[in-house]
Amino acid sequence: MDFGKTIARAKAMLATPRTEWPVAAAEPASIGSLYVGYIVWIAALPAIAGFIKSSLIGTGFLGVVVRVPVAAGIGGMVLKYVLSLVVAYVMALIINALAGTFNGQKDMVQALKTVAYSWTAAWIAGIAVIIPWIGWLIAIAGAIYGIYLLYLGLPFTMKCPPEKSGGYTALTVIIAIVLSWIVGLIVAGVIGTAAYTGAAMSGAHLGSTDDNVTVDPESALGRLAAMGARAEQASKELEAAQKSGDGAAQQAAMGKMMGAAMGNDGTVQALSTEQVKAFLPDTLLGLKRTRSSAQRNNAMGMQITEAHAEYGDDSGRSVTLEVADMGTAKGLMAVAGAMAPQQERTTDHGYEKTYTADGRLTHEEWDESGNGEYSVVVGQRFTVKAHGDAVSIDELKQAVASVDLDSLEALRDEGVTRR
């Protein structure tokens, strides 16, 4: 087993899919070698991340962190992992069976390659579930990017005419949605795959299965296609910089690569800590600011700046306000906004919901005990969140509104250098 080759294949499939698909399709392989050499390793990533999130980190809701018992978490992880391996094979059977319908060539090994490599994005992005709140956006984006990889790969693996690839992709995705939904029921998970994929495919206009797909460039699928093209170009620049040995050029190329992977048409310099911290008011809901801090993280070309302040009084009441510039992830936030579904769940004591209001992705939680959270995405780049003790969710909305959201949104292109 060559782990280096596995990693190289995954990296190339994500960054340069147009050139990697013909290479992958031409390689000799068997069903066994694809599983042992690739699928069993990459498919394990989201299952492990899910276990870490559910049993070790826990899921926060209305100020309460819930952790699945480790034994149950391990059982769920193994079940989810095994089912993902089974579903991959079932999808390969389906793709192979559909080949003739779209003037392709039946080949079970090539069909399994199609599944393995197009699902790479979803499997790797599944790690992001451990990131609070926006982690699911990254996971969704990875799943939808997998649709784009599938669209690119079918003409090489299944030998279907390029003009048939759109219909082939659409039908395959519909079947995958149903299978994913079934798996979600089995592991008792709230996946929402159908809603996510349906939102992403809303920009694709399909005729019959024999027609090509016309993709709206402003839709989530269209944006992800553009992401793939930019990532491919950026990876070429990075390779050239690495060959040159120029450290400055390599750093700049890495920044472009990370920006392209995050959906940006260029580079994004996150705001300074002083700029972000300036949006935190001195008082909030009649409470004095008792503590504040800000930090700017920059690693491998990925930049994020965040600031938060705590407000309280002598009675022990406390509310926290957070403002963050997602920086390099700006493009990904735009994709998330384009395909974000509406979700809502209720309990005996409260509720949680995600929706779009006034063009802004919004998330709110509330518990009858007087604890909650309210968050908005501003300018498809910034997040503003208030959480803590309140009389009602309206107070937390008021806390977020105390930030000059219009001025913050006006900075959406600050530090952006387009190609």
**Amino acid at site 315:** S
Q: Which residue pairs from 305-313 have beta carbons closer than 8 angstroms and sit at least 24 positions apart in sequence? A: 305/270, 305/271, 305/272, 305/273, 305/275, 305/276, 306/276, 307/273, 307/276, 307/277, 307/279, 307/280, 308/280, 309/280, 309/284, 311/283, 311/284, 311/285, 311/287, 312/287, 312/288, 313/286, 313/287, 313/288
Phi-psi map region of 316: left, alpha, beta (phi>0 left; psi -120 to 50 alpha): left
Given a contact cutoff of 8 angstroms between Cβ atoms, the answer to whether 206 and 216 are in contact is no
Rounded Cα distance between 149 and 224, Å, is 10
| 305 SS3 class | strand
Given a contact cutoff of 8 angstroms between Cβ atoms, the answer to whether 40 and 3 are in contact is no
Burial 238-250 (b: 16+ CB within 10 A, else e): beebeeeeeeebb
What angle (nearest 5°) sits at the alpha carbon of residue 412, between those of residues 360 and 266? 120
Residue 398's CB is within 10 A of a number of other CB atoms, namely 15
**pLDDT number for residue 173:** 79
Rounded Cα distance between 41 and 24, Å, is 17
Rounded Cα distance between 384 and 401, Å, is 9
**pLDDT number for residue 102:** 86
Rounded Cα distance between 238 and 232, Å, is 10
| 383 SS3 class | strand
What six digits make up the tokens of 258? 């990370």
pLDDT tens-place values along the chain, 419 residues long: 567 888 889 888 988 899 999 999 999 999 888 988 898 888 888 878 777 776 666 565 444 555 656 665 676 677 677 777 878 888 888 888 888 888 899 999 999 999 999 999 888 887 776 666 556 667 777 878 888 899 999 999 999 998 888 878 877 877 776 556 545 544 433 223 333 333 333 444 433 333 344 445 655 555 555 655 565 566 567 667 767 777 777 666 655 655 555 555 667 788 999 999 999 999 999 999 999 999 887 654 557 788 999 999 988 889 999 998 877 666 656 655 555 556 778 888 889 888 888 888 888 889 888 889 998 889 888 889 999 988 899 999 999 999 999 999 999 989 887 66
Given a contact cutoff of 8 angstroms between Cβ atoms, the answer to whether 254 and 300 are in contact is yes
pTM flag (> 0.95): no
What six digits make up the tokens of 189? 């998970």
Given a contact cutoff of 8 angstroms between Cβ atoms, the answer to whether 150 and 21 are in contact is no
